[in-house]
Structure 1
Amino acid sequence: MNTGRFQRWFDLKGWTALLIGAPYGWLVIWFLLPFLIVVAMSVATNTPTAPPFSFGGDHAWINWSSYHRVLTDSLYLRAFLTSVVNAAFAAFLCLLIGYPMALGLTRVSKSWRNILLMLVILPFWTSFLLRVYAWMGLMGKNSWFNGLLTDAWNFLVPVDWAIRFVPMMNTNFAVVLVMVYTYLPFMILPLYASLERLDPTLDEAAMDLGSRPYQVFLDVTLPQSVPGIVAGGMLVFIPAAGELVIPSLVGNASQPMIGKIIADEFGQARDWPMASAVAVALLILMVLPTMIYSHYQARAEGTK
């Protein structure tokens, strides 16, 4: 009897519940549980044991000293500031470069559109690490790229300002440059998806009413593409702020980003509570603006 009732329920609602619940189960297993483990480690006490943290016994069950250091130690505050500034610059430059490209993709024929979209995602077909190493070679002081920039600089400035090479490696400029190259497709694709859905007759109507092309863009196209701008900005800013590989290879060791700090605390210092506290703080810093935007966007659309 019970088996038959379960069979009928599964035939009617079971597959739907399974398909809907599978993504939530994935998030619980691979996001929520690891996050709770990191939160628990962040309030533990660092000890010379394996693993290097403990609760209770000779130590407090909840230790807030790691969070106190995150909020007061200049090392972590500078790292957070450097990460946010570099990620914001990268997201802004990706927007400046990616918006015209995404808009152009919507204005070409479908045959060319497919080819150009393939070129946008083509960098993903090669190793991320290999692409970073390629930029390291380009920015080196003996590279042809650096020599070309050096010659251009020496041609434009007085002789007294001449330089032997452009110092690009191990700077925040190099970090932002490589992040822009790496994350540019994450800006172009959401923008293209947003712009492609726009009704072209709105632009034609605005021009028929006497608007100039730049006014049509500012008054019609740009406001309607704000969701794509926000989505692309988040897809670039969030991973860029926590980036580890790029700052480690081309960045300035005296100005580390927060991803490097977390890796060093976990690996070299073996201070897992401190590393966990920094990771939790970074997650809050990244998620809180997203939640605020989603709240006001939902309220503006009348869903809340």
Structure 2
Amino acid sequence: MTQRARNWLLVAPAGAWLIVMLVLPLSVVFVFSFGERAPSGGYVPAFTFEQYANLPARLTAFQNTLILAPLGTLAALLIAYPLAYQLAVRTSEKWKTLLLVLVIVPFWTSILIRSYAWIYILGGRGIPALLENFGLDDVRLIYTPFAVLIGIVYGYLPLMVFPIYVALDRLDKRLLEASADLGARPMTTFFRVTLPMSVSGIATGCMLVFILLMGEFLIPALLGGGKVFFVGNALVDLFLQSRNWAYGSAVAMMLIIIMLVTVTIYMRLIAKLNVQRDDVALM
């Protein structure tokens, strides 16, 4: 058996899985997006662009998603990086495992339960009631974009921490020592050595969080209270309640296109940063 045949055999199971579980469902959604809604709901075969022409009707959902998903990703990065840096660089080996387990612990509880906990914390008997003792009345936190942002950052923070932690943990500590020996200040060492060497972890973490947030629907439904909804909430409404499968498919295809364009641009930027980092390292 040739090497090429062996490679095809190794790739075949994953390729078949992707075709069955990804390509075929997306193909069905693509075909449905050009159809029409049946009188009793569902799908009627047709070839029309009417569903795509009606996309502005869901503009609010797209706006909320395209604003809060990047903001949530950025907020998670700003919180996760110092935590991952502390775990990977500043923490002794005997404490790393325990602290990493503490980061994982929230995943042991359903996101539904954790979201309900935030409903209480941000609701009238939570933080707003506490602020009333300091003379701050009528503070509303629940069912706002801020509440949704808090929920998505809390829910997806571990997915941002671990890729960054892995990248920083593989960092050769001798590079940091050499930078200090050469007279570089801690901030200079961080921006010239640590941060560039952790770009791969940042890229992976941001990609994981951003893609999942673009399809999120549970956290906006609970913490947004029907006032702040994502495209995922619109899809649930169109497919399960309105039973407008054709329009829902068009909305889904537009979301996929937006994600593909965004991820492609992002990966090209990361690739350029990696090239610049390698050039600096060679110098």
Residues 93, 273 of structure 1: alpha-carbon distance in 2 compared, 3 angstrom cutoff: same
Aligned to 2:103: 120
Are 2:18 and 1:27 equivalent residues in the alignment? Answer: yes
Residues 191, 149 of structure 1: alpha-carbon distance in 2 compared, 3 angstrom cutoff: farther
Aligned to 1:275: 248
Matches within 5 A, 1:172-251: 172-251=145-224
Secondary structure of 2:216's match? coil
Aligned to 2:84: 102
Structure 1, gaps ≥5 residues long: 1-8, 56-60, 155-161
Matches within 5 A, 1:1-304: 9=1, 17-49=8-40, 52-55=42-45, 61-70=46-55, 73=56, 75-107=57-89, 108-143=91-126, 145-151=127-133, 154=134, 162-164=135-137, 166-295=139-268
- Listed one character per residue, the Cα deviations across residues 42-83 of structure 1 (whole Å, up to 9, x for unaligned) are 111122146x2222xxxxx4211111221xx2x422211111
1:210 offset after TM fit, Å?
Answer: 1.5
Secondary structure of 2:31's match? helix
Structure 2, gaps ≥5 residues long: 277-283
User: What TM-score results when the alignment is normalised by the length of structure 1?
Assistant: 0.83
Secondary structure of 1:281's match? helix
When structure 1 is superposed on structure 2, of 170-179 and 233-242 the one drifting more is 233-242
Q: Which has the larger radius of gyration?
A: 1
Return structure 1 stretches of 4+ with deviation > 6 angstroms: 12-16
Q: Provide the rounded CA distance (Å) in 1 between the counterparts of 2:132 and 2:157.
A: 26
User: What TM-score results when the alignment is normalised by the length of structure 2?
Assistant: 0.88
1:296 offset after TM fit, Å?
Answer: 5.8
Identity %: 38
- Verify the 8 A CA contact 2:61 2:229 in the aligned structure 1: yes
Paired letter, 2:114: R
When structure 1 is superposed on structure 2, of 217-226 and 168-177 the one drifting more is 217-226
